[in-house]
Structure 1
Amino acid sequence: MSFTNEAVDRQDVLAEVTACFHAYEAAFMANDLPTLIGFFWQDERLTRYGVADRQLGHAEQAAYRHSVPTPSFTRQLENLRISSFGPDTAVALVEFVRSDSSLRGFQSQTWARMPEGWRIVSAHVSMIPWPPT
């Protein structure tokens, strides 16, 4: 299946997912658990790989979020890139710098439009020394 130029980076989809991404970030930093957990697909096929953790399925994701305290650090986001592929799929990629670490973070999220709205169906977070050697 190939996408036409009109299907890639639709402005309406980019606007919607960008708003969701920033709302997710605000919920993450505030540890707003109902909002944060609600952004994830409520399905056992949900996958999230963290810096030192892994959740397979929505139940594991929710349990993990309940075990994590409110961040005691700040995050500066850099190089946010959001691309859409058709009306119902988008990918968000961002780099971040945490106030409590010299490492550079990388976060990717795959968003899908579900009947209940945009949801993260997969996510990955990593941190590495920066600049790389």
Structure 2
Amino acid sequence: MELNIPEVVEEIRTLFERYEQALIDKDVEVLDATFWNSPLTIRAAIHENGYGFDEIHAHRVRRPPGPGIKLARRRVVITTFGRDLATVHLEFDMRGRDMPARQSQTWVRFPDVGWKVVLAQVSVTESTPAY
């Protein structure tokens, strides 16, 4: 298996940036299009746990728009495994809190619908790990 094929990394980076902008804009259509429409999709975040696409969508509709600006990023790591599996890990400064937050996503390329997030998680920590 080939890791980090440059054009695959770039595909994921573009999709990830589109998703991040959709969070800021509360573009529910793009947010929904990013996630696999399946009861097996999971998004666990600070104020929500969505088990299945329908729960994730319901939260998207209820939540307010994002902060209006991109969050201060500390680090983004994209790793691709072949041409059909990728992970994204973002470490950023949480608004209003003196602590870092993290967002991780697992992306799968499906033959019929393309790249979709199948698992996402957002968390806040009290300290930054040593790398």
Answer yes or no: same fold by TM over 0.5. Answer: yes
Given the two structures, how large is their TM-score scaled by the length of structure 2? 0.90
Q: Return the alpha-carbon distance in structure 1 between the equivalents of residues 103 and 67 of structure 2.
A: 19
Equivalenced residues, count: 127
- Conserved in 2, the CA contact under 8 Å of 1:102 and 1:130? no
**1:99 is the counterpart of 2:124:** no
Letter in 2 for 1:76: A
Task: Report Cα offsets for 1:3-23 as digits up to 9, x if no partner.
Answer: 3xxx11111110100100111
CA distance in 2, matches of 1:131, 1:47: 25
Match of 1:84 among 52, 77, 80: 80
- Structure 1, unaligned stretches of length 5 or more? none
Confirm or deny: 8 A CA contact 2:25 2:68 kept in the other structure.
no
Normalised TM-score (structure 1) = 0.88
Aligned-residue RMSD, C-alpha: 1.5
Q: Hey, which bits of structure 1, 4+ residues long, moved more than 6 A?
A: none
Residue by residue over 1:13-60, the C-alpha shift from the partner in whole angstroms, topping out at 9 and shown as x without a partner, is 101001001111000111111111110000000011101320100000
Q: In structure 2, which of residues 113, 120, 125 is the aligned counterpart of residue 123 of structure 1?
A: 120
Identity across aligned pairs (percent)? 28
How far is 1:101 from its partner?
Answer: 2.3
Q: Which deviates more from structure 2 when the two are superposed, residues 33-42 or residues 71-80?
A: 71-80
